[in-house]
Amino acid sequence: MESCFDFAQCRKNGFKVYVYPQQKGEKIAESYQNVLAAIEGSRFYTSDPGQACLFVLSLDTLDRDQLSPQYVHNLRSKVQSLHLWNNGRNHLIFNLYSGTWPDYTEDVGFDIGQAMLAKASISTENFRPNFDVSIPLFSKDHPRTGGEKGFLRFNTIPPLRKYMLVFKGKRYLTGIGSDTRNALYHVHNGEDVVLLTTCKHGKDWQKHKDSRCDRDNAEYEK
C-alpha cells in the first residue's frame, strides 16, 4: 500500500472519490452504471479530480470475457490515454469476469499498473492483502439498493451510525438454531457490532449450560 498509493490527497481533502466522466460512444452495461451511480450518490463523491483521493474509471471493466457483448474493446489504449491515470496510482478497478470459458483467467486485458482491484472470484495467489478488494459475483439484475422503490430515505453509505449490527435475544443451547445463536459471540466486538444473548431460555436451561453462559447472561442483563 505504501509503495503504490499516495495518501497525500486523502490527508489534505479527506476521502473523496472521483468518477471519470463518461466518454461519448462508450457503452456501459447497466451493472456498471449501478456501481458508478452508487458512488456518485454517496457522500464521498467529488466532481473535482483535484480534491480526489480515489479514482474510478467510467470505462466498463466489469465483464472482461472477450465473447461477451459487454466486452469493451481497445481498453488498454483507452486507459493509457487518460491524463489522470498515472500508471493506475490511487485508482480502483471493478471486475466480475475475466477470460473466457473454459479457460477463465484473471487477466483483465490491460495493465492495471498500481491500481487496486475489486474483483469477484480472485485467487489467493493473485489477491494482494490490504490492497485488493474481494467482492461477490452479482447478477445483471441485482438491485442497486435494497427494499421497495421509493423507500430509500437516506443515501449515506456507509451509514453515519455508531453501531453497524445489533442483536439481543435468547441463545438456544440445543436444537434447531442453536449452532447459529451459539456462534454469534465470534462476531460480537462490543463496539460497533453488539450481539447479546442469554442462556435463560426454558425451564431446564441450566442442564445445558455451557462455559460462556454466565458471561453472556451478565452482558445481556447489562
Domain spans of the chain, in order of start: 7-134, 165-221
Mean pLDDT value of segment 16-41? 92
Angle at CA 43, nearest 5°, toward 39 and 48? 75
Note the pLDDT of residue 33.
Answer: 93
Q: Which amino acid is at 218?
A: A
Tens of pLDDT, residue by residue over 49-68, are 999 999 999 999 999 999 99
Note the pLDDT of residue 155.
Answer: 65
Tens of pLDDT, residue by residue over 83-134, are 999 999 999 999 998 988 777 788 899 999 999 999 998 888 999 999 999 9
Question: Strand runs (DSSP E) across 79-222, as ranges?
Answer: 91-95, 97-98, 116-119, 133-134, 165-170, 193-198
Pairwise CA distance, residues 193 & 94, whole Å: 28
pTM over 0.85: no
Note the pLDDT of residue 111.
Answer: 94
Tens of pLDDT, residue by residue over 142-163, are 776 666 666 666 666 666 778 8
Three-state SS for 185? helix
